[in-house]
Chain A
Amino acid sequence: MANLTALKDGIVNSQVWKSVFRVGIPNTNRKRVLAVLGSLILHLHPVKVRRSGVRMSYTWCMGGTSFFLFLVETVTGLLLMFYYRPTIEYAFTDIMDLREQAPFGIMREMHRWGAHAMVIAVWLHMFRVFMTGSYKPPREFNWNVGVILLVLTLLLSFTGYLLPWDQLAIWAITVGSSMARASPGAGNEGPMSGLVKLGDIRLIHAGDDARFALIGGRSIGAATLLRFYVLHCVVIPLAAGFLMAIHFWRVRKDGGISGPL
């Protein structure tokens, strides 16, 4: 036993150990709290959880499920990126290869099912928050963050829709992106866009409006595929991750998982 104690002391007092665990082993309640608060990983967990917070019938666990599905989408999406090339020449055949030849052909299906499930989970989360009145002060800011996260979830779903580059994808995005034509003041068919004129010349037309910027051309093509790929894999996930960090932080700061008033 003496040897084991000496070994433990040797490890705990080593420079490597101390560089990782800054505060040592906490032996009082105060030090335990400080150790949790001072650690990036541990501080994500709340100090206290309300009893109602672990009651599935009250929270439905839909916020946690949404985050879990986001992680599933991140992992499976990263793996798909090893086999998928966002070019007209390869996109569709790479999707076929992912299904027929790559290891774990279910990986792409998991990404797809996870995406559907995430949209459903986010809606249910929002519904629960609304029905329990959890958007009320002091949580009104977090409700707004959540609304933006809902929009980002739908945009992730929308941009991912194009990537298989089959008929369904191309025509769905053709139809969907047409909505950008009607953007007020930014789409060439939108309200107030006709007011932006230089003399008789309309400055907003099909060659420079919001839809043009979104899809990188007048019709869905190679530029659209690459643009949606970058939005889907980099831009929107980064934005969503940043807002999720704020969202979770505010859940803690606004009094924890909401409970019955």
Chain B
Amino acid sequence: MSEEIKPYQLVPKTPLAGSAAADIREQGEITRRSFPFVLTTAWLALAAALGGLASILGRFLFPNVLFEPVQKFKAGLVADYSVGEVDERWKDKYGIWIVRTEEIVYALITVCTHLGCTPNWLPTQNKFKCPCHGSGYYKSGINFEGPTPRPLERAKIFIDVADGQIVVDKSKQFHQERGEWTDPEAFIKL
């Protein structure tokens, strides 16, 4: 080491002539005068880098494409369903029971309103029974036993005018306790 200029040393107290300061900067030294600027720039750069990284990490957790069953599906003709029965053909694939009564057809979502398990339809006892904590529902979806606080939810259901098929749209749910089951989209009038 021939040059005995230590890094980060304090520059002389006399004001530097412009040329001298420029010389020192050319040697890569940080002057007393430029130090606050360098420090601020460094912290801002670090904050920007960390902020950018955090936003990338956050965004990465939200996938652009989902590999889930579709929310809206065609469920065949009304004639495919018998009166008075709970139809379980869409339960595994889409999580929907379709029930046909004398007057209406409605779609129940197969999620227990207690803690989200899937209840079983028990035809012999004419009720839905949740295996997790014993919540029970009538065929209409109204709760009558167990810990559940409210009825099962119904999904939007309508007839496609083009081909006459039933369409179920799970993305819109109807709550009985909010009086939404009377909504014309909550059932098909026969």
Binding site for B on A (CB under 8 A): 51, 54, 75, 79, 82-83, 97, 101-104, 107
Q: Are B60 and A101 interface neighbours, CB within 8 A?
A: no
Is B43 interfacial (CB 8 A cutoff)? no
Identify A103's interface contact among B7, B53, B59, CB under 8 A.
B59
A103 to B58 Cα, complex, angstroms: 10
Contact A102-B60, Cβ < 8 Å, known A51-B7, A54-B7: yes
- From B62-70, B155-163, B167-175, B180-188, the one touching the partner chain is B62-70
Once the chains bind, are A104 and B56 in contact (CB under 8 Å)? yes
Which residues of A are found within 8 Å of B59, using beta-carbon distances?
103-104
Q: Is the CB of B7 within 8 A of A82?
A: no
Residues of A near B1 (CB, < 8 A) are: 51
A82-B65 contact in complex given A51-B1, A51-B7, A54-B7, C-beta closer than 8 Å: no
Residues of A within 8 A of B53 (CB): 75
Residue of A nearest to B53 (CB): A75
Secondary structure at the B interface, as helix, strand, loop or mixed, is loop
Q: A51-B7, A54-B7 are in contact. Are A101 and B56 (CB under 8 A)?
A: no
Is B60 within 8 A of A79, CB to CB? Answer: yes
With a CB–CB cut-off of 8 A, which chain A residues contact B57? Answer: 75, 79
CB pairs A–B below 8 angstroms (11 shown):
A75-B57, A82-B60, A82-B61, A83-B63, A97-B65, A101-B65, A102-B60, A102-B63, A102-B65, A104-B56, A104-B59
Among B1, B6, B60, B62: residue with most chain A CB under 10 A: B60
The 3 closest A-B CB pairs, nearest first, are A101-B65, A103-B59, A103-B60
CB distance from A82 to the nearest CB of B (A): 7
Contacts A101-B65, A104-B60 known; 12 new A-B pairs at CB < 8 A: A54-B7, A75-B53, A75-B57, A79-B60, A101-B63, A102-B60, A102-B63, A102-B65, A103-B60, A103-B63, A103-B64, A107-B60
Alpha-carbon distance A103/B62, docked complex (angstroms): 7
Q: Smallest distance from the beta carbon of A85 to chain B beta carbons, Å?
A: 11
**CB-nearest residue of chain B to A106:** B56
The distance in angstroms between the C-alpha atoms of A51 and B9, with both chains bound, is 13
Least Cβ–Cβ distance between B170 and chain A, in angstroms: 23
B135 CB, nearest partner CB in chain A, Å: 34
CB nearest to A105 among chain B residues: B64
